[in-house]
Amino acid sequence: MRQSRRPTLSDVAKRAGVGTTTVSRVINGGKLVDPVTLARVRRAIEALEYTPNQAARTLKGARTRAIGLLVPSIADPFFASCAESAQDVARRNDSLLTVLTTQNEPRLELESINVLIQHRTDGLIIAPGPSSDSALRQLLERAGVPAVAMDRPVPHSSIPYVVADNRAGATVACRHLIDHGYQRIACWTGEPALYTIRERIRGYRQSMKAAGLPLLIDDSIMDYSSAESAVRRLLADPAPPDAILTLKNSTTIYVFEALQNLGVAVPERVALLGYDDFELAAALQPSITTIQQPTAEIGRQAAELLFEYLEEYLEDIEERMAIRKPIRNIHLHTALIQRHSCGCR
């Protein structure tokens, strides 16, 4: 096997003329080792290009120094940004980040977690899909793998989570449109089963009710053609919306394209405000007002929370009596990015 070709700790020991214990001490900081011996061992390590075998360490009981990240898709800019910062935190904690995509499918979620358990990953970060059953929660709890939920909590579980404040974001969006004087504010989206979307819809509902405005919800916009149908319906409507709040990135883009292609003036005929900021929001005509999520921060904090729990875990081993810190959930703020599609300026 390839692995066995690599020099081992005892090869180094032999070459340096010392015991394996000494070499082990050297690669683990070199404390309690005579400076002369230390130098000799180091030279042997260099000469042999020795690298400790993580598998052997893990087998001895050390952590694997790898964490898992389960996201629906890594090509999605939102999760890509989360992943980037999570990888950063992992690196700072001398750990590897293993990425698994779940496509929001419960089967892939469970399968992926099992693979991670098999690899004895130290912990994992998961953005769970909208599954209704409790298999995910149960597996996570039974497995006893430290886990942190990201962007979406694991339903009915005590797994700590880091999410954006979706309801507040939607509320700010609604308030802004209301302040502009719009009376018929529609709420368009796809994937209504997702936690984030449900929360945003709730924020919309609350705001509309509080302002005494009608609820105009369409949660069937999943692609360009459904967006175009919705716009056509709007055009034929005797009492059409004067503003549209789109609850997710792709919906915003499809709706924008549909409005553009059907020649609907934005914001004159209908205003547009999109949940999720995107790179070209400022370059479109008109530029799109959005609710911006702290994507990198979500990934960063989720990873940091996980490593925090990991530390705690290790301490627990030593003093079983240690009191576990209370679950700490994190809600991050969103920002309203004012541009022109809402009627500003």
Partner DNA sequence: CTGAAAGCGCTAACAT
Partner DNA sequence: ATGTTAGCGCTTTCAG
Binding positions for its own copies, rule: CB under 8 A: 1-6, 49, 51-56, 58-59, 61-62, 64-66, 73-77, 80-81, 83-84, 87-88, 91, 96-101, 114-120, 142-144, 253, 256-257, 260, 278-280, 282-285, 296, 313, 317
Burial (CB < 10 A; 0-12, 13-18, 19+), residue 227, is buried
When CB distances are held under 5 to 8 angstroms depending on the partner's kind, the choice from DNA, its own copies, none that residue 33 binds is: DNA
CB of 57 to DNA, least distance (A): 4
- Record the tokens describing residue 308, joined without a space: 């925090």
* Of 53, 101, 260, 329, the one binding DNA by CB under 7 A: 53
Please list, in sequence order, all residues whose beta carbon lies within 8 angstroms of the beta carbon of residue 237, skipping any fewer than 6 positions away. none
Q: Which of 9, 16, 7, 341 lies closest to 182 in space, CA to CA?
A: 341
Letters for 11-40 (x = contact with DNA by CB under 7 A, - = none) are --x---xxxxxx-xx-xx---xxx-xxx--
Size of the site for DNA (CB under 7 A): 32
When CB distances are held under 5 to 8 angstroms depending on the partner's kind, the choice from DNA, its own copies, none that residue 229 binds is: none
**Residue 12 — φ and ψ, nearest 5°?**
-60, -45
3-state SS of 206-218 is HHHHHHCCCCEEE
Three-state secondary-structure class, residue 40? helix
- Record the tokens describing residue 24, joined without a space: 């082990």
When CB distances are held under 5 to 8 angstroms depending on the partner's kind, the choice from DNA, its own copies, none that residue 224 binds is: none
Contact 53, 3 (CB under 8 A): yes
When CB distances are held under 5 to 8 angstroms depending on the partner's kind, the choice from DNA, its own copies, none that residue 313 binds is: its own copies
Report the chain's C-alpha Rg in angstroms.
Answer: 26
CB of 31 to DNA, least distance (A): 8
Q: Which of 158, 150, 99 lies closest to 129 in space, CA to CA?
A: 150
CB of 9 to its own copies, least distance (A): 13
- Give the pairing of strands 289-292 and 330-332: unpaired
Indicate the residue among 6 and 92 with the shorter CB distance to DNA.
6
Interface residue list for DNA (CB under 7 A): 3-4, 6, 8-10, 13, 17-22, 24-25, 27-28, 32-34, 36-38, 50, 52-53, 56-57, 59-62
